[in-house]
Structure 1
Amino acid sequence: MNKSAMILPAVALVVAGILSSIFIVDEREKVLVLQFGQVKAVKEEPGIGFKVPLIQNVVRYDGRILGLLTQPLEVTPLDDRRLVVDAFARWRIVDLVAFRESVGTEGVRAAQARIERILNAAIREVLGAVPSQRVLSEDRTSLMNLIRDQARRQALSLGVDVVDVRLTRTDLPEQNLAATYARMRAEREREAADEVARGNEAAQRVRASADRTVVELTSQARKESEVIRGEADATRNGIYAEAFGRDPEFFAFTRSLTSYQRALQGSNSSIVMQPDSQFFEYLRSDQPPAAP
């Protein structure tokens, strides 16, 4: 009985020691085996690993691609137009030993802060070398690739690889929006005024051309009417002369009637002349006046 009582605790201790020396690495993890803070083994493949109980311990790190959303950052492009930029980076641990030496016991949280500082420096350097119009354009792939490459080179010392960088927002600072909108409004109003001025100038040219055409047409019509009127008067005078030559007395009679009609037009016509005036010769005698 005494022997059995001593063996069972020993077996239990051996089993506990064996179990505590075994650890399992998940396919999503990377593991460091540390002994008094020093790296003794690196386990990156999934499976079972072993360590010395009570002396060595296991530190686990996420082996997947991680994301980092930076805080809004104000940058000044080449044309001194300030912009507020947000970026999103994807990164992963590629060197566990260098990563442990760089961030210590704080792990991923410390790495995120250091990567963000590296990323902000790369954003400032790359965007500060180009005009703001290129930053604000829809096609910023080349700029994002430059930022990624520069951040990747600097982040390798941390044992991490920057896989991708995306600019999620590029806007003007709030205090500049009102001034920018006012400038845009002034530019649009100036363009509108230019268009109105050009329209008025074109309308003036069309109006002047139309007025000139009216004057020319009116002058031509007046000229033609005067010519026609002159020809008609000449024809009329020729007819009168021919008629006078055929019957002078009848011509004198018709001329007198025309004169009476013109003189007595209106509802209250008055003529003052001598009774024996030759003007009323056809009214007071049945005989025609003598031909002159």
Structure 2
Amino acid sequence: MMSEILDPTSTPRPRALDWLRVGTGIAAVLGILLAATGVQVGEGEAVVVTRFGDPVRLLNVAGLHWKAPWPIDAVARVDLRRRTFETGHAEMLTRDRKNVVLVGFAVWRVSDPLRFYQSIGTVEDAEEKLDGLISNAQIGVLGRFDLSALTSTDPTTLRTEEIEAQLVEATRTVASERYGIEILTVGFQRLSLPEDNVSAVFKQMRAERRQYAARYEAEGAEEAARIRSETDLEAARIRAEGSEESARILGDSEAEAARIYAEAHRKDPDLYRFVRSLEALDSVVGDETTVILRTDSPPFRLLTSEGN
């Protein structure tokens, strides 16, 4: 053995290889420690740190955090992003005693990760709880509305937004206080009617159509009457203005004629009387009129030498 150790032909082990092995071992140990004690929190999530099964710390800031190694500490991750789920089919009774089959939906997110972890823990269990909570709220809220508030040809009777807002209010407090869940939206995805209600709904829709037609006819008749009334008033106004203008023109003409007569009488009274006598004679004697008068009676005296 001594000869093997002292053999000058033997090659010594490289020291670099030893350091590489040591470094690899240290890195492996550090990796194991990091995996056992480090907690990476991502965006949109929170981490509940438990010690021997009891929650001791909540990590809700993205980044690297530290904990005691397993089995002392363990972690439970909670997704904080918004989630949407569809409720099951549920048959409800409206205020006017009509059955409807609804499929709803809800948009929710975890608002209190610690409460969520302690009360539910998983998304599947959370949606099961929410399904029952929303179904109970639908029974209470829809019982305060008629069927026409859910389905109608008249937009003024639809109240779906109001119903959905009431559903959110009816479920929000319970979901938050019990489960650490914030309910953002509750709505209706599908609505159907049992067979015995279909004919009643069609009858209601036909009645609404008739009401629409009657209302439109009444509005049309009212508008036609208004237009006729305005037309009659405008025609009467135009006729009145025409009569007024005609009377004004006639008055102006008569005034002008009187002025001309007066001016003629002032300038030549004899000529004026002569012309007026001719006008009087023309108005009295027609084409086939025979009048017997004395020659000295006016206006015939104009025909005698005495009247010249």
Q: 1:121 aligns with which of 94, 118, 136?
A: 136
Show the counterpart of 1:41.
57
Whether the 8 Å contact between 1:127 and 1:135 is mirrored in structure 2 is no
Q: Give the whole-Å Cα distance in 2 for the aligned partners of 1:8 and 1:144.
A: 61
CA RMSD of aligned residues (A): 2.9
Say if 2:98 is the partner of 1:77: no
Matching residue of 2:161: 141
8 Å contact kept, 2:84–2:106: yes
* Gap runs ≥5 in structure 2: 1-14, 152-156, 215-308
Q: Structure 2: how far apart are the matches of 1:174 and 1:80?
A: 15
TM-score normalised over the length of structure 1: 0.56
Give the Cα–Cα distance (whole angstroms) in 2 for the partners of residues 185 and 19 of structure 1. 66
Q: 1:125 to 1:9 in 2, by over 3 A?
A: same
What amino acid sits opposite 1:155 in the alignment?
A
Which residue does the alignment assign to 2:265? Answer: none
Equivalent residue runs for 1:209-224 within 5 Å? none
Q: CA deviation at 1:35?
A: 1.7
Q: Choose from 60, 66, 91 the match for 1:50.
A: 66
8 Å CA contact 1:122, 1:151 repeated in 2: yes
Which of residues 161, 179, 182 in structure 2 aligns to 1:161?
182
**How has the CA–CA distance of structure 1 residues 139 and 128 changed in structure 2, closer, same or farther, with 3 Å as cutoff?**
closer
How many pairs were matched up? 186
CA distance in 1, matches of 2:141, 2:158: 17
Per-residue CA distance 1:26-66 (angstroms, 9 max, x = gap): 10211111122211211112111111111312211211011
- Separation in 1 of the partners of 2:185 and 2:60? 22
The residue number in structure 2 matching 1:173 is 194
Cα distance, 1:109–1:10 mapped onto 2, change above 3 Å:
same
Q: The residue matched to 1:168 in structure 2 has which SS?
A: strand
CA shift for structure 1 position 178: 5.0
Q: Distance in 2 between matches of 1:180 and 1:7?
A: 80
AA in 1 matched with 2:40: I
Q: Percent identity?
A: 23
Which residue number in structure 1 is paired with residue 103 of structure 2? 86
Q: Does the alignment pair 1:109 with 2:104?
A: no
Q: Specify the SS of the correspondent of 2:120.
A: helix
